[in-house]
Amino acid sequence: MRTQVAIIGSGPSGLLLGQLLTNAGIDNIIIDRASKDHILSRVRAGVLEEGMVGLLDRTGAGERMHREGLPHEGVSLAFDGRTKRIDLFGLTGKRVMVYGQTEVTRDLMDKREASGALSIFEAGDVVLHDFDGDQPHITYKKNGTTHRIDCALIAGCDGYHGVSRRSVPKAAIQTFEKVYPFGWLGILTDVPPISHELIYANHPRGFALCSMRSSTRSRYYIQCSLDECIDEWSDDRFYDELRRRLPAEQAEPLVCGPSFEKSIAPLRSFVAEPMRFGSLFLVGDAAHIVPPTGAKGLNLAASDVHYLFEGLQEFFGEKSRSGIDAYSERALKRVWKAERFSWSMTMMLHRFPDTDAFSRKVQEAELDYLVQSRAASTALAENYVGLPY
């Protein structure tokens, strides 16, 4: 087989890039080691910046998002027994959209199938060849047979554990990483959310987040030790701990229901530089990870797609390499700003095991200043809703 762009990974970034390319008349094939059902079973975040919303609209896959998604104009910070709302729209003129990543993936898959573009699932032994040479191609095995895809360029959209970044020689890539000494214990439950907007809580017992996937599905998190055993956390124990970390007026309306998903996620910050190696371009989690505190993971992948799609349009339409040559530098500038924001939110809202009394007082003063100062609130708001591409 031959195509113009081979895309590794059928998550939201690969599907988003693929649909933008298909709409622009640029041939592409998506290949993934997982099955379609497995991809759609993964539970992920769901706070979308306006840039991500705009890209979904450009693909033609945004109709259900606008019908079922929840536009949010604010977010609340809970600390010191009180709750303060940050008016995102009033401070920036922008909103965020709460719409689950699984639903984004489903909508993009449906759009791709309707467009007739090719996706290959359950591909084994995927290998990237000659991406630093003149004949980039991919081989994979399916049903006992080895297949080959020749292409002009390769987009690695296959996540942190994917083959794309691992295919790059170690000497050609530099990585930066910070691992946090705690995780998030999270549950999904089909009950109405505690609030119509997200609540981020700083408490002496640890961080908590009250979020949602819809008006009838809630997503709750509490900070926990990395050595916690998930089996020791009953739903009742989780809800009791969540209540302790919220101000009384927020805890009181909490509706409890059985969870249907429960997990502990470690937190890390990670960046790989550069994001381009000859004909191979890293996109999204293949190149960077952020702690979920700032709601930037999926949105960073979307901005990578934006920059890469612009470059690919120039490359195939205008025969210009300027866009793809600038891709890594342009993407990384926004990546590091989002890394900074996600790191700062994580540091401000979590209790660290080695935090002394002085550091706790500074953290409390930072939160108080943030909600009292319009300038500080604006800085948080403009980062939260998403910096411009």
Q: How many CB atoms lie within 10 A of CB 169?
A: 8
At 175, give phi and psi (nearest 5°). Answer: -120, 145
> Residues 6 or more apart from 382 whose CB is under 8 A from it?
91, 92, 94
At 6, give phi and psi (nearest 5°). Answer: -95, 125
> Residues 6 or more apart from 183 whose CB is under 8 A from it?
223, 224, 225, 226, 228, 264, 265, 266, 267
Mark whether 180 is an active-site residue: no
Q: Nearest CA to 222 among 194, 251, 186?
A: 186
- Pairing between β-strand 96-98 and β-strand 218-224 as defined by DSSP bridges: unpaired
Mark whether 72 is an active-site residue: yes
Mark whether 99 is an active-site residue: no
- Active-site residue, selected from the candidate residues 137, 193, 292, 327: 292
- Active-site residue, selected from the candidate residues 140, 180, 200, 221: 200
Q: Nearest CA to 35 among 140, 143, 122?
A: 122
Mark whether 292 is an active-site residue: yes
For residue 230, CA distances in Å to 205, 224, 240 come to 18, 10, 16
Mark whether 111 is an active-site residue: no
> Residues 6 or more apart from 27 whose CB is under 8 A from it?
3, 4, 5, 21
- Active-site residue, selected from the candidate residues 239, 307, 327, 384: 384
DSSP element (H, E) containing 119: strand 118-120
- Active-site residue, selected from the candidate residues 296, 306, 307, 350: 296
Active site residues: 72, 200, 292, 296, 384
